[in-house]
Structure 1
Amino acid sequence: MAKLLIVEDDESVRTLAARALERAGHIVDVACDGAQGLDCIHAEKGAFDLIVSDIRMPEMDGIEMAQAAAAAFPGLPILLMTGYADQRERAEELDAIIVDVVQKPFTLADIRDRVSLALARTGQSAAAFAGAA
């Protein structure tokens, strides 16, 4: 079980991903754009095991949010999602910040698997976080 933040402007994608990850046993918070996502990250003092964010969003995109979150909370793992090849290329420049990029559209099993892999790669889990508190 991990504490996740899903940042996605498409309500149907946000809701489906949140439900899939909650059913996998994770605690999930949601935000509808990068600015709201960054507010959530600051409100929780970076205490998320993984941020799962769309890249292309209004107000603040996922890459801007990832850069601001990483500046405030170094080491915070971030998984980006995109349906656009050019956005994926932008994300590749952030290898030090981003743990993976998921191509849209994805199945619910895909997002559960990619989140599990990202958590395993970073060694993050809610249990590890609770032990550090």
Structure 2
Amino acid sequence: MPDTGVILVVDDNEDFLTVLSDALALLGYETRALSDPDEALGVLGAGESFDALVLDMILSEDVSGLDVARKARAEAPGLPVVFLTGDQTVAVDAETRRLGPVIAKTDGIMAIRDALRAI
């Protein structure tokens, strides 16, 4: 994926969400940033079009990044997904890895950009 396109970014940490959205914008991406996973599910269900998703793996007690990715893929089967995690101990299962790469938040914006380019 070139450094253009519209990305839905979902993270429950609003400070991180703002920094990530701003950094992606500086790289050339247009972002729609949401901190509420239920709102993200609603946006995806409403049929808004995105070129990729960047999702925190742990969003709330009720909705995970994997849940949002599953919904997104149901709406748009080929939609690229990049998962983020701030918890290096989180278990990453085969289904998650099939949906998209998992990047540690501490790896920085260039790792996220590289993952977007790779998918």
Do they superpose with TM above 0.5? yes
Structure 2 counterparts to residues 84-95 of structure 1, below 5 A: 84-85=87-88, 87-90=90-93, 92-95=94-97
Q: Which residue, 75, 79, 88 being the options, matches 2:78?
A: 75
Structure 2 counterparts to residues 1-133 of structure 1, below 5 A: 1-43=4-46, 45-58=47-60, 59-85=62-88, 87-90=90-93, 92-96=94-98, 98-118=99-119
Instruction: List runs of 5+ in structure 2 lacking aligned partners.
Output: none
Q: Shift of the alpha carbon at 1:71?
A: 2.0
Q: Shift of the alpha carbon at 1:22?
A: 0.4
Q: Which residue of 2 aligns with 1:121?
A: none
Report Cα offsets for 1:18-55 as digits up to 9, x if no partner. 01110111110011132121122223x25111000001
Q: 1:5 to 1:62 in 2, by over 3 A?
A: same
Q: Which residue of 2 aligns with 1:124?
A: none
Report Cα offsets for 1:97-132 as digits up to 9, x if no partner. x221111223222222222223xxxxxxxxxxxxxx
TM-score norm. by structure 1 comes to 0.75
Which whole-Å CA distance do the structure 1 matches of 2:90 and 2:76 have between them? 23
Which whole-Å CA distance do the structure 2 matches of 1:56 and 1:37 have between them? 14
Instruction: List runs of 5+ in structure 1 lacking aligned partners.
Output: 119-133
Count of equivalent residues? 115
Q: Shift of the alpha carbon at 1:94?
A: 3.3
Percent identity of paired positions between Structure 1 and Structure 2: 27
Which whole-Å CA distance do the structure 2 matches of 1:88 and 1:3 have between them? 29
How large is the Cα RMSD of the aligned pairs? 1.9
**Structure 1: 4+ residue segments shifted above 4 A:** none
- The residue type paired with residue 115 of structure 1 is L
TM-score norm. by structure 2 comes to 0.83
Which whole-Å CA distance do the structure 1 matches of 2:91 and 2:116 have between them? 17
Q: 1:73 to 1:67 in 2, by over 3 A?
A: same
